[in-house]
Each structure stands twice: as structure tokens, then as C-alpha cells.
Amino acid sequence: MYSRDCDSSRPLSRRVCCAVALLFAAALSADGQGNVFKHIRYNGGTFYTKVKPKDWHNQLTVSSEVVTFRLADKQEIQILSKLVTALTYGQEANRPYFIGIQYTSPKGEKAGLLLQADKNNYGAILQALQSVTSLPIEMSEKNRDAMSLGLRTALNVSGDVVTAAQGGAQPAGEASATQYGNLVITSDPPEADVYVDGAYVGITPASMDLIDGKHTVRVSSRGYVDWSREISVILRSRVTLAATLEKQK
């Protein structure tokens, strides 16, 4: 229901896009070195860097086995393609060209990267990531309607939390869209990392939907003491948090 397939009932332009995506996937599999993207920003994740979010001098390499992100300060993180659990697009405050990679570390810990591509390479990056992970790209309905790259997508009804799985079937135990409340969080200093129930979810300012119930929100920034709160999300409510972090002594 929500996935996009290359069936003959779709317009020719859509089928051409699908064909291009399939050719791209084939080329990726044939190239053991993977695809390299050199104009990309790092906006948050599971490791600290002094590289500014506005710096484009980072590099993403996508191969069939490993997704490698190398920062301008030479730090590097390697993610096994098979351990990537979710791919998102345009969901950080609904801004375009933002790509989220959620994965499980070899130690079993939840982790993630939030990257910003540009208008010239975001499509190729999404295609490359989907080719090696076989995951749908999770995005809002607005972004999905504008996406014409032949990608397989999962509709994000609420705008931040995906409530439809690949193929339109809802996973067992997954909450429906009406079981979510909204969290809006800002911080001083800005652009701090945000964790919900121990999982990285993005950088401030951020807006996200959370299943109703109790959650632990933690905000972290280098040189500051972590800020955390226990919150209760009520069905279809909005919780607004302003995290003021104290400098470490």
C-alpha cells in the first residue's frame, strides 16, 4: 500500500525512475569499492567532533558490506550494512536533504547518524543506501509525493515516526498513528544531541512524535553537563522542553 514498485500501472516517468534505480543498484553491487560522496554535512550522531554542522568537507562511502562516514577531522565510523535498521529522509524539523541512518553497533547498542546532503547528491545517496540495506526510506507524505527517484518508501503519517512498514503492513505490536504525542525540544547551547530512552534521535532544535507513555529525554553537548528529564507523553498532546545545559567545571 505504501511501497512503490515498478509495475506497469504507474506512469512511464515513474517506471523509468525505477529502472534507473535498478541499474544503479546493479552498478553498486559490481563496484566493490562502493560509491563515494564528498559534499555532505554531519549534524549529529554517536561520536563527538569539533567539525561544525555547516562544514561540507566530510565523506560518505557506501559499499555492499560497509557504510563508512569520514569527517573532516579524520575521524571515521564504519557501519556494517546488515546492521542498519532504518533510513529516514527530510525528517529533522521536516527540512529537505536531511538523511538519517539508524543502526545497531556490534555491541548491540542503538546508534545513529544525521547527515545533510545537497540537492545534487541526496538522491544518489538515498539510492546507494537503499541498495545495500534493502530498507524503505521513511519520510513524510509531503516529501514522499515530491520524491521521483524510483525509491521504495515508507509513509510517515505523523511526520516523524513511521507508522507504516514496508509494503503497507503494520508490524506486530506497532502503535497506530493516533497513539502518539509530540515532543518539541530546544537547547542552550543549540545543536546539542538528543536521546530518547537511550537512543539518539537528532540535534536541537527538534520535533518528534513519541508513543504515549513515559520517556527519558537526555540532551548532551561537549563541554556541558548532560541535561535529562522524565516526561509523560499523553495521546495527541504536545510536550515542549527547553534544555539549559551547565558548563562542566
Q: How confident is the model at residue 49 (pLDDT cuts 50, 70, 90)?
A: confident
State the cell numbers at 22: 535498478
Q: What is the pLDDT of residues 103-155, one digit of tens each?
A: 887 767 778 888 999 888 998 999 999 999 999 888 877 777 776 667 888 76
Contact 86, 135 (CB under 8 A): yes
Decide if 136 is inside a domain: yes
- One domain, residues 21 and 134: yes
Number of structural domains in the chain: 2
- Amino acid found at 145: D
The domain that holds 195 is classified in CATH as: 2.60.40.10
Instruction: Say whether 13 sits in a helix, a strand or coil.
Output: helix
Q: How confident is the model at residue 5 (pLDDT cuts 50, 70, 90)?
A: very low
- One domain, residues 191 and 147: no
Decide if 123 is inside a domain: yes
- pLDDT for 161 equals 34
Pick from 168, 186, 210: which residue ends a domain? 168
- pLDDT for 149 equals 62
- One domain, residues 136 and 209: no
Residue 207, pLDDT above cutoff 60: yes
User: What is the full DSSP assignment across 124-181?
Assistant: HHHHHHHHHH-PPEEEEHHHHHH--S---EEEESSSSS--S-GGGPPPTTPPPGGGEE
- One domain, residues 119 and 95: yes
| Domain range for 183 | 177-244
Q: How confident is the model at residue 214 (pLDDT cuts 50, 70, 90)?
A: confident
Opening angle at CA 217, ends 213 and 222, nearest 5: 170
User: What's the mean per-residue pLDDT of the chain?
Assistant: 75
- One domain, residues 131 and 189: no
Q: The whole model's pTM is what? A: 0.55
Distance CA 241, CA 158 (A): 20
- pLDDT for 196 equals 86
- One domain, residues 78 and 163: yes
- pLDDT for 20 equals 44
Provide the β-strand partners of residue 181: 210
- One domain, residues 96 and 143: yes
- One domain, residues 229 and 113: no
Decide if 3 is inside a domain: no
Mean pLDDT, range 53-81, rounded to an integer:
90
Q: How confident is the model at residue 48 (pLDDT cuts 50, 70, 90)?
A: low
- One domain, residues 96 and 215: no
Contact 87, 129 (CB under 8 A): yes
